[in-house]
Each structure stands twice: as structure tokens, then as C-alpha cells.
Amino acid sequence: MTRKIWKRPGRSARAIATLVLANSFLLIPIWILNRDFGPHVLALEAAILTAAFLLLPRSRWTEAAAWLCGLLVITLGVLQLGDTTARMSLARPLNLYLDVQLVSAVADLLRGTLGTVIGTLVLVGAAIAAIAAAILLGYLLSTLHPERGNRRQWIVGVAALVTALVAVPARWIHPSGVALALPAVQLTREQVRHVASMMKENERFGAEMAVAPDHYADMPGLLAGLDGRDLILAFVESYGMSAIDDERYAPTIRPRLDSMLQAFDSAGLLIATGQLVAPSQGGMSWLGHGSLLSGLWLENQLRYDLLLASDRQTLVDDFEAAGYRTAALMPAITMAWPEGDRFGYERIHAWEDIDYAGPSLNWVTMPDQFTWSYLENTIRRTDDRPLFAEVGLISSHAPWTPVLPVLDDWDSIGNGEVFDSFADMGETPEELWRHGDRVREHYALAVGYAIDAMASYAVRYVDDTTVLIALGDHQPAPLITGEDASRAVPVHVIGRDPEVLAPFMEWGFAPGVIPPALDDVRRMDTFRDWFVNAFTPSAVQDRP
């Protein structure tokens, strides 16, 4: 007679295991968000589900429902984790209507941060864990049915279900009910609300496009106020006002800005600084780029897609109409970028177009100093026409390791091989991101590097024929800023002619490197219309 090595746990133990597993998947994301075991302790959906299956008789339909419910709970748990991730990284809740397409971007970021092999293993491991949990939960639910004729089991099941259902309204009535949660219900309700809102977004955005200024090509003397100077529009990754104002980062950033100001004074450069509000935080840089270029507020992906689908002109078209050649220098773009063609750049320099022979630095494909060098030597020196260039600077992108020094000898940069010695410099992302304080320290250092590289470029290359506008693309994630930070970013305007900086002063900018404190900060979408009118003499003359 064969001995039974494993005896299936009793029904009570299986019920407890079911409740714990379902409850954990629904609430762990909330505990991660709150960085604490609470305030919610019990997900009432998990209790109701467990109690319901304690009453359902054994049948083919019950087993099918068990497997389906197991899959549903784990799926909701994964979505809850996505919501937590969105709140921690983008400072907003998950919006399935818009965010499904970001899954590939998250996967790319993970592989870029941890390396292709480790990042892929993490993704595969997470998928396997979720599938295994769904199978386990489905199995447990399918075994909770009461035994025939066992009245006590029916009474226990009914009591458990009634208690769980009564707790639903009770959690809203009693203040201590916060320990009880309905995460699945809340998540579903939020997504339904998002879908309803997005269904109306097309109409709202169309109305805004109809009234927002668009075509400037026929304006006499379009952008003549720049007097044919090159205009470099440089977006500095994750450079938000928190870098300047937050007491955790100001001791690192403000001395860098002061050093930049001193270097500019010695070199005869002038600088004015203000701030603008970005439409996103923690990521989705393209929303800020698009808002500033188009003059439309692109606060979500749908609005961005609607812009791309329209024939609306942008600042790129304005400069082209003014006789400028236009270029985009985007070292972070590693895949097809049809948006660049839509914006109408004459030349696009993405990662595969850039002759860079140095190392990639985790997610960062090349350091900012090389990007600046490439701009000067490969883009600016190839044509006598004035240039409008949009530049994406990415050294201050997470994971913020390694942080490079700025090389004094710009002539040594060449194709980037000079950076080979920095490939294995500093901590790995896995080591760094185990410690929140170290992550925040490295954030400040990375932004400091971006400022130093920009300052060194400006001192060397910004001459009488150049205007440099450098601004943050968005604030970093709430992990860095805290939960209540604004979305404002600094904007630095650098040149040698005070007449070029004067319109910015009239617009509320201040001399120096620190933005003035304002109660009402303008948004990025206000820039295009103001800029075109400020630097077009006919528009200035027509003002009342």
C-alpha cells in the first residue's frame, strides 16, 4: 500500500491561504506607495471572494469560476502595482486608456538601467511569478467548496460572507474603517472615470486648437529680432525647480549655478533665468517638448497624439519660415521616431545617426558633454544658414550612475572614445537603488554634471551669433521631489547681447541663475506665441 507523502491542508487552512494571497496582491502595491504596512490592512474584495467560494458547491462551473477569479485578482493586483508605479514615477494615477503603450517604455528603461540580461530576467521572472500566483489562487478557490451535508461549514461560510458584506458600508461610516479597503473597486471606478474623460478629450482639444494661435509664417520680419543668431533649445533631463529650492539638493546645485555665473561674467556672457510649468513629472518628456513647440497644453498622451494627427504648425515651422535650418539632436531616441518627421525638422540626429564610439552609461546612451560637442562640431559647422536646434540632454536621467566629470579639453572628445575609462565608474544601479538617500544624492550630482557641462559649452562656444535657452523637461519623480512639489522647471537664457535678453526680462525673467519667486508661473504652452511675437519687430510695433 502506497503511503501518502503529502496530505492536503484542511479547508480552514486553504481558506486562510486564499485570503492572505488575494489580500496581499491587492494591498501590497498600496503599502509600497505609503512606504508602510497600512493604512489598509484588509481588502474586502479578497474577504468577499473567499467567503463566496466557501458556499459554492463543487461543480464544473464553480471550478471554472475559481480559475477565472484567480486570474482576475492577480490581474487587478498587477494593475494596482502599475498604479503605484505611475504615482511614484509620474506623480499621477494609472490611466489604462493612455498608459498601455508605456509598457514597452518601462521595459526598455528597466533593461537600460539593469542591463539587457538582468532586466529581461526581471521582466520574465515577474511574469512567471504573476502566472504562478494566478494558478495557485485559482486552485485554492476551487477547493473551498463545502462538503455535502456538513451544515457547520455552510454556517461558517454564510457568517463569513455576511460579515464581509456588512463591512463594506461600515468602512465608510466608522473612522477606523480605513483599515478596510476596496482597492479593486476603487481602481475599476477610477479607470471608468478616466475612459469617460478621455472620450471627451478629442472635442476639448479640438476646441483649444481652434482658438490657439497657429500660423505665423506670413508675419513680416518673422523672428528678425534674433538678427540671424543660432537658437539652441536644450532640454535638461529631470531638471526641476526642486533641484534649486529643495534643501536636500540646493547645497549641491546652487554652488554649481554660482560657479556658472562667475564663469559667464569672466567670459562676457549674460544670463537671465525664469521658470515654466511642465505638463508632466517624472517622465514622458515629449509632452513638455511638444507643449513648448506647439503652443498647446499636452498634459496627456492623447493630446500629444491628436497634435501629431493634426496639421498644426509648431516653432520648428516658424523658424523654417524665417529662413533657418532646423535640427533635432536626440541621443535618447533609439527606435523609430515618426514624431520627428511630423514636426518637420530638416535633420534628425537620433542615437543611430550619431557617430559615438564611447560606452553607454546604463540607460544614458552618451554623456551630455559629447552631445554638446557633437552639436558644435557636426551640426553647427556644416551650414552657413542660421540654426534652430532642439537638443535632448540625458545625463541627468535615472539611474544617475555613473556621474562623470566634465573634461577640460573639449578637443579631446572626438568620437567619444575618451569616455571609455568611465564605463565602470561608480556604483551599479542595483547597488545604488538599494538606498533612497544615495539615490537622491546621485540625482543632485547628475543634475550638477548637466549644469557644469552646459556652462563649459556656453563659455567656449556661445558667441555673438548664438542664443542658448536651456530648461528642464520636467521635475523628477515624487521619490525625489516629495508628493506636493510643483511641476515648474528652471529656464536659463544665455547670450552676449543684452537686447536679446531684454524681452525675457519683460516677460518676468531675472538676471542671474536663480528664477524669481512667482505666485503664478506660466506654462510651457505659452512660450511659442510669446517668443514669436517678442522677436518679430512687426508684432512688437503693433502692440498697443
Rounded to 5, what percent of the chain is helix, strand, coil? 60, 10, 30
Going by their DSSP bridges, the two strands 347-350 and 325-330 should be labelled as parallel
Cis check: omega of the bond before 399, within 30 degrees of 0: yes
Rounded to an integer, what distance in angstroms lies between the CA atom of residue 116 and that of residue 113? 8
Q: What is the pLDDT along the chain (544 residues), one digit of tens a residue?
A: 344 444 566 777 888 888 888 888 888 888 887 777 767 778 888 888 888 888 788 888 888 888 998 899 888 888 888 877 777 766 677 777 767 766 766 666 666 666 677 777 877 888 888 898 889 888 888 888 777 656 676 777 677 777 777 777 766 665 555 777 788 888 888 888 877 777 787 788 888 888 777 778 888 889 999 999 999 999 999 999 999 999 999 999 999 999 999 999 999 999 999 999 999 988 889 999 999 999 999 988 888 888 888 888 999 999 999 999 999 999 988 777 878 888 889 999 998 889 999 998 888 889 999 999 999 999 998 888 899 999 999 999 988 989 999 999 999 999 999 999 888 888 888 888 888 888 899 999 999 999 999 999 999 999 999 999 999 999 998 888 888 889 999 999 999 999 999 999 999 999 999 999 888 899 999 999 999 999 998 765 555 4
Residues 392 and 532 in one domain: yes
Cell numbers at residue 382, please? Answer: 556644416
| Domains identified in the chain, total number | 2
Rounded to an integer, what distance in angstroms lies between the CA atom of residue 320 and that of residue 354? 23
The answer to whether residue 343 sits within a structural domain is no
Residues 181 and 258 in one domain: no
Cis check: omega of the bond before 39, within 30 degrees of 0: yes
Q: Which residues pair with 492 in a beta bridge?
A: 273, 470
Q: Please report the pLDDT score of residue 5 as a whole number.
A: 43
CA atoms within 13 A on the CB side of 84: 18
Residues 236 and 102 in one domain: no
Residues 160 and 238 in one domain: no
Closest listed residue to residue 414, CA positions, set 380, 386, 374, 384: 374
Residues 156 and 304 in one domain: no
Residues 376 and 235 in one domain: yes
Q: Please report the pLDDT score of residue 516 as a whole number.
A: 92
Q: 347-386: b or e for each residue (b if 16 or more CB lie within 10 Å)? A: bbbbbeebebebbebbbbbbbbbbbbbbbbeebbeeeeeb
Q: How far is CA 239 from CA 218, 290, 489, 514, in A?
A: 36, 17, 6, 13
The answer to whether residue 341 sits within a structural domain is no
Whole-prediction pTM value?
0.81
Residues 111 and 243 in one domain: no
Residues 146 and 242 in one domain: no
The answer to whether residue 109 sits within a structural domain is yes
The answer to whether residue 180 sits within a structural domain is yes
DSSP-derived secondary structure for 39-100:
S--EEHHHHHHHHHHHHSPSSHHHHHHHHHHHHHHHHHHHHHHHHHHHHHHHSS---HHHHG
In terms of Cβ atoms closer than 10 Å to its own Cβ (0-12, 13-18, 19+), residue 271 is: buried
Q: Please report the pLDDT score of residue 200 as a whole number.
A: 80
- Domain final position from 197, 232, 257: 197
Rounded to an integer, what distance in angstroms lies between the CA atom of residue 493 and that of residue 479? 29
CA 97 to chain centre: 17
The answer to whether residue 149 sits within a structural domain is yes
Residues 438 and 293 in one domain: yes
Residues 6 or more apart whose CB falls under 8 angstroms from that of 128 comprise none
Cis check: omega of the bond before 503, within 30 degrees of 0: no
- Domain final position from 141, 162, 197: 197
Residues 136 and 235 in one domain: no
Rounded to an integer, what distance in angstroms lies between the CA atom of residue 246 and that of residue 249? 6
Q: Taking the alpha carbons of 116, 120, 123, 125 in that order, is the dihedral positive or negative?
A: negative
Rounded to an integer, what distance in angstroms lies between the CA atom of residue 401 and that of residue 308? 34
The answer to whether residue 340 sits within a structural domain is no
- Domain final position from 197, 232, 263: 197
Q: Please report the pLDDT score of residue 60 as a whole number.
A: 86
Rounded to an integer, what distance in angstroms lies between the CA atom of residue 358 and that of residue 518? 42
Residues 231 and 157 in one domain: no
φ and ψ at residue 402, rounded to 5 degrees: -80, 160
CATH of the domain at 266: 3.40.720
Residues 180 and 225 in one domain: no
Helix (H, G, I), strand (E, B) or coil at 412: helix
Cell numbers at residue 362, please? Answer: 546604463
The answer to whether residue 215 sits within a structural domain is no
The answer to whether residue 243 sits within a structural domain is yes
Task: Please give the residue range of the domain that contains residue 247.
Answer: 221-324+360-542
